[in-house]
Structure 1
């Protein structure tokens, strides 16, 4: 069946965008993570192609462009547009990328299509295996998606900043607080804000030389978008940590740090993204510490000494 419907994503920028845009060329690794992240922003026929590829990556890697079009109920022209939307020049590049990734997955001992369905009666051993498999894949996908040049630029900006504001809501707020604590321990003046009123007041006081970091897996949390936009309007360098490269949060940020997630039945995407987010922020924190080594080392030593007296004495607990 050939599809004749309009198959544009939400916002033509997904199809028309240059894959080597202001955030640098897309990575050649993590093809399926890229498709998974981009699928949420596609509609119509393009969305069906993405879903078909994700449902059976190995079959997609073996299929010709005509076969994939027939199986997804679209057309070869739609397949070509889908490839360009994902940052590939054509179908051959997409096929090679998927084939290479599925081959690496087999050699690594875990499958691309993780069985993520967890039933209420499943034994904890199986649940643990599912969670570990999903998190392992999410870590690999995040490493593939992450643009280290963006991390470098963010680290340099934070290392030289007078103030760092971190914005997030709900679970993202918890991740932001972890980052604030880490930066504070090495002498970086950082604040984490989850209340929109307090966050806006703080963002309004930022200026050139300051940094604002917005955390949202979907990139669509209105409060976080508003807070990052306010900081950017004051001249601060804005950084987005998100799973969607063309989300509203990512589009307004100067720098974008991408994460991937692998949802399970009882742990949806937003919760599944927590560990990859922490890994990326840990990398960013260490990069900042590297660039402020002497100051960071001295600050960490002093803060460690300050709390040392509140640790239980050795042998005091039976």
Structure 2
């Protein structure tokens, strides 16, 4: 769970629900003593100091993204074959998704009031 302050109500609520369902929670936050860390199994401290007018500073986001990248690389190395299989499966499914969604969009093109332009009907669906 990412939260600079560790006090974002929605993030804390998600952490509580996930914990109730048996998930292990890793929190990435700036403050060790925050409401989020009370629900976490592991707390990683990350982020630059922010002033009151700097909410969502770029340096804090970059630090969090870097930490996420390090965690991903380590997980990938430890579960190499499973990660390769998952990556290939995701690529295959995304290719199918793009193929079918392109056909759906082409089938659903409708003229707009503007000459020389087309509007696409947006369709939302889940891949299972």
Q: TM-score range by the shorter chain?
A: 0.5 to 0.7
For these two proteins, the number of residue pairs brought into alignment is 94
* Separation of aligned partners in 1, 2:49 and 2:29: 14
Does structure 1 residue 285 correspond to structure 2 residue 72? Answer: yes
Partner deviation per Cα, 1:209-242 (whole Å, 9 max, x = no partner): xxxxx21100000111111012212322111111
Instruction: State the SS of the aligned residue for 2:32.
Output: coil
Of 43, 56, 67 in structure 2, the residue corresponding to residue 270 of structure 1 is 56
> Any conservation in 1 of the 2:30–2:47 contact (CA below 8 Å)?
yes
User: In the TM superposition, what is the alpha-carbon distance from 1:302 to its structure 2 partner?
Assistant: 4.3
Shift in CA distance, 265/254, structure 1 to aligned 2, threshold 3 Å: closer
Does structure 1 residue 230 correspond to structure 2 residue 36? Answer: no
* Separation of aligned partners in 1, 2:47 and 2:88: 34
- The structure with the greater share of residues assigned to helix is 1
* Separation of aligned partners in 2, 1:294 and 1:242: 31
Runs of 4+ in 1 over 4 A off after TM superposition: 262-266
Of 86, 92, 105 in structure 2, the residue corresponding to residue 299 of structure 1 is 86
User: In the TM superposition, what is the alpha-carbon distance from 1:264 to its structure 2 partner?
Assistant: 7.9
> Any conservation in 1 of the 2:47–2:61 contact (CA below 8 Å)?
no
* Separation of aligned partners in 1, 2:52 and 2:16: 34
> Any conservation in 2 of the 1:215–1:240 contact (CA below 8 Å)?
yes
- Give TM-score, length-normalised by structure 1: 0.27
User: In the TM superposition, what is the alpha-carbon distance from 1:303 to its structure 2 partner?
Assistant: 3.6
* Separation of aligned partners in 2, 1:265 and 1:240: 22
Partner deviation per Cα, 1:69-91 (whole Å, 9 max, x = no partner): xxxxxxxxxxxxxxxxxxxxxxx
Q: How does 1:117-128 map to 2 (within 5 A)?
A: none
Q: Which residue of structure 2 aligns with residue 255 of structure 1?
A: 42
Shift in CA distance, 233/264, structure 1 to aligned 2, threshold 3 Å: closer
> Any conservation in 2 of the 1:262–1:269 contact (CA below 8 Å)?
no
* Separation of aligned partners in 2, 1:215 and 1:278: 10
Root-mean-square deviation (CA, aligned residues, Å) is 2.5
- Structure 1's unaligned 5+ residue stretches are 1-213, 311-318
Shift in CA distance, 231/299, structure 1 to aligned 2, threshold 3 Å: closer
- The structure with the greater share of residues assigned to strand is 2
Bigger relative contact order, structure 1 or 2 (CA pairs below 8 A, ≥6 apart): 1
Instruction: State the SS of the aligned residue for 2:56.
Output: helix
Instruction: State the SS of the aligned residue for 2:74.
Output: helix
- Give TM-score, length-normalised by structure 2: 0.62
